[in-house]
Chain A
């Protein structure tokens, strides 16, 4: 007698769970559609030939006669592969060196006592609020008149080799490392550099990953400064090249679409493969 109400309530719970899941799936699909729709549209547009209308009512998504003409046209006119290589080179260099320099700088701020430590730290923190665009005018003058690297790739690397956010995050991470580890190393007579490299750095690897990812996303998307510096096609990074593409194909929406697809798809594939690492890296932001 007592089993039937229990079975019924169990059934009710299962149904409620399923409804809940359905509701969640609907929400997820809705958000996914909104998120992905522009890419889908651009993707299909890039395959439309000149006779396939892209502006029509009712709108036509799928091309009638798909063609890769647009891709060929863009490929011939713009060095898209160079945009990629430049972006990859710039971003990787910055990610590695920024992590390196910031970790170096954060170590004494977290683990050493010396004159002016607090002053340094607050000075650094204060520079965080300086908007990048503010520094662009004098940096432009510097680039042109002092360092002579206008229109050269290193002009978009040097300014980003140290970042206050990275230093701050690494300092937080270092603070979490127990002093005993360091003392043990010091007793053994190791230099601070060795302690830093061999003892402390491995411990804070998750935070390093976080810093790397934040820097990566920031630099990959960086447009303002590179657009001021890089004007020869072969030197452009991806974002600057994209704008050049939009200008070069201003009355050719299909060409623009092809160019956008060419620049976006490889990144999506890359990310899809490394998805786990990305999420794990961002998890580090919490612990840091």
Chain B
């Protein structure tokens, strides 16, 4: 009987606490105030915002003499509370992010920033948060995986064309600013860039009787290279297809035109496309590539294979050398870095990372300010000093840091970095129904790669399916 009473009390308490917990008030909806913004002429000590404003707005007073040099965005909402999501940056760069946020808050006092980092589940989390109506205000999106145009075509990002002042726009490399346009509108601030290189395991190379000079300069030379490596050492090539954006990959590597000029029909069954797919089909048939890595959607899986010393090379940015060093110090000792092979398009790659602003954000100017702040010359220079990424702003390269001779292997791209980054370009046209079409292409590619379907046939069928989605 006593046990029963205890049980009864316990369950009552539980029930009560549950009900109380469930009755907690929902977070109040933030009211978006439409504010007219004019460019202020900044003079002397008091920064005054000339805005048409409701009662609550406060005249900001900067504590230091002269305006904060990095506060270039005006009209930042006072008391704004915005959230920032970064991709795979924690815990390694916790200090950098936090100190940059602190500096941001000095430049724009009164703005609170909530920072979250997401890794492998970034996309799932982001999609779910959009559906749940609580997506972050400022989002670190991957240009290389094509996320900016993904979300922009769904109308989820804020167009930047009319709200970002021209003098801010001109701080970036034009090629990088003009990336992932949707209907000729801009949706991203270019953030840190990577020079795509190949990390090379020199031990395996030597075992295969090859030297660094033998490393292929073009994509077309890869199959033969992998064949030699497999024959001499038994290791497989560690090559990844960007399974969520094959259209982009075939554009860069195969020089393929994926959709016609006026966007009325898909054209990725052209001879160039077939040749591109055939290259991979041949490698799979010859058994020279690791299939797991080929179709994984996690870049880290490919990195893992290389880090364990089981692959001759891996295509990535020098900034990930830190992962190799942490997980396999022995390999770090005989690592080499070579520029990545170029595809038929002649363009090595597109940008790496960007910062975008959520379309229905309650604090557009504050969000823009944060995105711009992280991608301004000083922030990116500081980032470059702690890891081998490269700024998207030409001004950063004037710093002596970039003209100093490279010391560690991670820095070997430094001397030619500015040149390389300025040449990164987005050559993929706007693709309607991008996620669905890429899924169709992925299925077709798998049929050709693993099921002995003729690549031409697979691609032609895929084009037919994709065209059915167009209006």
Is there a chain B Cβ closer than 8 Å to A182's Cβ?
no
Given the interface pairs A55-B310, A246-B120, the reply to whether A251 lies near B300 with Cβ below 8 Å is: yes
Is there a chain A Cβ closer than 8 Å to B121's Cβ?
yes
Q: Give residues 56-114 of A contacting B (CB, 8 Å).
A: 76-77, 92-93, 96-97, 100
Is there a chain B Cβ closer than 8 Å to A176's Cβ?
no
Residues of A within 8 A of B133 (CB): 144-145
Given the interface pairs A228-B128, A231-B129, the reply to whether A252 lies near B18 with Cβ below 8 Å is: no
Contact A231 B14 (CB under 8 A): no
**Closest CB in chain B relative to A157 CB, distance in Å:** 7
Contact A93 B301 (CB under 8 A): no
New A-B pairs, 19, CB < 8 Å, besides A55-B310, A100-B15, A244-B121: A50-B328, A50-B329, A55-B308, A97-B18, A140-B131, A144-B132, A150-B128, A151-B134, A154-B18, A154-B21, A154-B22, A158-B22, A202-B4, A232-B116, A247-B119, A247-B121, A250-B301, A251-B301, A252-B327
Interface centre among A50, A244, A250 (most CB of B within 10 A): A250
Contact B327 A50 (CB under 8 A): yes
**Closest CB in chain B relative to A175 CB, distance in Å:** 22
Q: How many A-B residue pairs have CB under 8 A?
A: 77
Is there a chain A Cβ closer than 8 Å to B34's Cβ?
no
CA distance A76 to B129 in the complex (A): 26
**Closest CB in chain A relative to B281 CB, distance in Å:** 27
Is there a chain B Cβ closer than 8 Å to A218's Cβ?
no
Measured CB to CB, the nearest residue on chain A to B296 is A250
Is there a chain A Cβ closer than 8 Å to B272's Cβ?
no
**Closest CB in chain B relative to A256 CB, distance in Å:** 10
Q: What are the 9 A-B residue pairs with the smallest beta carbon separation, nearest first?
A: A247-B120, A251-B304, A250-B300, A150-B132, A144-B132, A251-B300, A148-B26, A231-B125, A248-B119
| Binary A-proximity of B124-167 (CB < 8 A = 1, otherwise 0) | 01001101111000000000000000000000000000000000
Residues of B within 8 A of A140 (CB): 131
Measured CB to CB, the nearest residue on chain A to B125 is A231
Measured CB to CB, the nearest residue on chain A to B131 is A144
Measured CB to CB, the nearest residue on chain B to A232 is B116
Residues of A within 8 A of B21 (CB): 154
Is there a chain B Cβ closer than 8 Å to A243's Cβ?
yes
CA distance A250 to B298 in the complex (A): 8
CA distance A143 to B328 in the complex (A): 44
Which B residues are within 8 Å of any A CB, using their own CB? Answer: 4, 8, 10-11, 14-15, 18, 21-22, 26-27, 90-91, 116, 119-121, 125, 128-129, 131-134, 298, 300-301, 303-304, 307-308, 310, 323, 326-330
A–B pairs, 28, beta carbons within 8 Å: A50-B326, A50-B328, A50-B329, A54-B308, A77-B90, A77-B91, A92-B14, A93-B14, A93-B18, A97-B11, A97-B18, A100-B11, A100-B15, A144-B132, A148-B26, A150-B132, A154-B21, A231-B121, A231-B125, A231-B129, A243-B121, A244-B119, A244-B120, A247-B298, A250-B119, A250-B298, A251-B300, A252-B304
Is there a chain B Cβ closer than 8 Å to A51's Cβ?
yes
**Closest CB in chain B relative to A139 CB, distance in Å:** 13
Partner of A76, one of B91, B116, B300, B308: B91
Residues of A within 8 A of B327 (CB): 50, 251-252
Given the interface pairs A50-B327, A248-B119, the reply to whether A96 lies near B14 with Cβ below 8 Å is: yes
Contact A248 B131 (CB under 8 A): no
Contact A248 B120 (CB under 8 A): yes
Measured CB to CB, the nearest residue on chain A to B22 is A154
Interface centre among A50, A51, A154, A232 (most CB of B within 10 A): A50
Residues of B within 8 A of A228 (CB): 128
**Closest CB in chain B relative to A207 CB, distance in Å:** 15
Residues of B within 8 A of A145 (CB): 133
Contact B18 A157 (CB under 8 A): yes
CA distance A146 to B41 in the complex (A): 47
CA distance A51 to B14 in the complex (A): 49
Contact B129 A250 (CB under 8 A): no
Residues of B within 8 A of A97 (CB): 11, 14-15, 18
| Binary B-proximity of A142-162 (CB < 8 A = 1, otherwise 0) | 011100101100100110000
Interface centre among B18, B26, B116 (most CB of A within 10 A): B18
Interface centre among B119, B132, B134, B307 (most CB of A within 10 A): B132
CA distance A26 to B329 in the complex (A): 44
Contact A231 B128 (CB under 8 A): yes
CA distance A82 to B90 in the complex (A): 18
Residues of A within 8 A of B298 (CB): 247, 250
**Closest CB in chain B relative to A104 CB, distance in Å:** 12
CA distance A202 to B8 in the complex (A): 12
Residues of A within 8 A of B308 (CB): 54-55
**Closest CB in chain B relative to A64 CB, distance in Å:** 14
